[in-house]
């Protein structure tokens, strides 16, 4: 005697026949997603990801909650991922410092290439050197001449020891045989408040300084990229000013190691669309940040190459641990 399949068995069979991405999309996400931004609130990385979080929340019908975890030179997001379940409900903003800080650490707590899931590269960060508008230095040459005449007297702020912003200034110092004092801060907004308050002489920071430069409170002396910033074409790059230093700093989205590729694809699609949302592209225009979309596999490979380049740089700067 044959048994007719029940409706439940037929339904289960239909679900089992669905391809993996369809299954992932059917069940993910069914609750809120935690998005870690490893900087203080108010900086360019934080603001851009908050805009994208809103767009992704609308797409998913689930909250994407931004959690700021500033400190440890921007590695607290990657560190949190080492303890998180690889289910896609905890992700973090990614930046080059996540790689570099593990080179600087004699006992690195994670492998920045193999202990993370790379989801999407999203944007680059324009960086530059700024002083207060009432400072005596109108050009980078003015500042460097003062530093040459007053060894060790100047101090500068950045996101932290070993951050991209910090290392650029140290490279300038090596190139021109200059000495100064580094003061680390927890985020761009903190660094710029310290500069405006007179705690430091200059700041090496990402483009969170843009509104303050446009308002006439800060003066931009140089940008670090391969090309001049679109919003400030009159400001020369370091290379324009005779320094062979070029820094284009991409950032993106990562998750814990071992994520389901289908969940990675769902997140990548959502954040790719959010990155191209008019609200986010308008923000990028204001901050003069380029959109640099790259899928997870290509992003991982780029960071692998970057790690080897960074290792060589840190070796030249004598910053690698013994």
Q: 15: which 2 tokens?
A: 């679900």
The dihedral region occupied by 157, where left means phi > 0, alpha psi between -120 and 50, and beta the remainder, is: beta
Assess contact for 35 and 49: CB atoms under 8 A. Answer: yes
Length in residues, the chain: 322
pTM for this predicted structure = 0.76
DSSP string, 60-77: HTS-EEEEE---GGGTHH
SS3 81: helix
Query: What distance in Å separates the CA atoms of residue 221 and residue 217, rounded to the nearest whole number?
Result: 13
Which percentage of the chain shows pLDDT scores above 70? 92
Average pLDDT over residues 262-282: 98
pLDDT at 125: 83
pLDDT in tens, 285-306: 888 888 999 999 999 999 999 9
Query: What distance in Å separates the CA atoms of residue 212 and residue 219, rounded to the nearest whole number?
Result: 8
Nearest CA to 296 among 247, 241, 249, 259?
A: 259
pLDDT in tens, 201-241: 999 998 889 999 999 999 999 999 988 998 899 999 999 99
pLDDT in tens, 143-173: 999 999 999 999 999 988 888 899 999 999 9
More confident: 99 or 322? 99
pLDDT in tens, 22-45: 444 458 999 999 999 999 898 888
């Amino acid at each position: 005697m044959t048994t007719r399949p029940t409706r439940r068995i037929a339904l289960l069979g239909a679900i089992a026949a669905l391809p993996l991405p369809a299954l992932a999309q059917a069940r993910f996400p069914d609750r809120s997603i935690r998005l870690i931004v490893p900087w203080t609130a108010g900086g360019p990385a934080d603001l851009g990801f908050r805009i994208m979080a809103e767009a992704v929340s609308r797409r998913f019908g689930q909250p994407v909650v931004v959690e700021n975890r500033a400190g440890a030179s921007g590695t607290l997001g990657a560190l949190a991922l080492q303890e998180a379940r690889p289910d896609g409900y905890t992700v973090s903003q990614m930046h080059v410092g996540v790689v570099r800080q593990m080179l600087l650490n004699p006992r690195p707590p994670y492998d920045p290439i193999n202990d993370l899931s790379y989801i999407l590269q999203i944007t680059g960060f324009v960086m530059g050197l700024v002083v207060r508008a009432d400072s005596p230095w109108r050009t980078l040459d003015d500042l460097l001449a003062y530093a040459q005449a007053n060894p060790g007297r100047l101090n500068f702020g950045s996101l932290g020891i070993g951050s991209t912003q910090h290392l650029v200034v140290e490279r300038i110092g090596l190139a021109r045989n200059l000495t100064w004092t580094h003061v680390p801060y927890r985020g761009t907004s903190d660094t710029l408040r310290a500069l405006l308050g007179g705690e430091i002489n200059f700041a090496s920071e990402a483009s969170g300084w843009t509104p303050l430069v446009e308002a006439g409170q800060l003066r931009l002396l140089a940008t670090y990229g391969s090309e001049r910033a679109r919003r400030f074409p009159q400001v020369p790059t370091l290379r324009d000013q005779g320094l062979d230093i070029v820094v284009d700093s991409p950032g993106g989205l990562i998750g814990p190691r071992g994520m389901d590729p289908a969940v990675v694809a769902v997140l990548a699609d959502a954040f790719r669309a959010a990155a191209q949302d008019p609200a986010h592209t308008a923000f990028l225009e204001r901050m003069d940040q380029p959109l640099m979309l790259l899928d997870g596999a290509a992003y991982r490979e780029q960071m692998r190459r970057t790690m080897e380049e960074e290792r060589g740089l840190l070796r030249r700067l004598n910053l690698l641990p013994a």
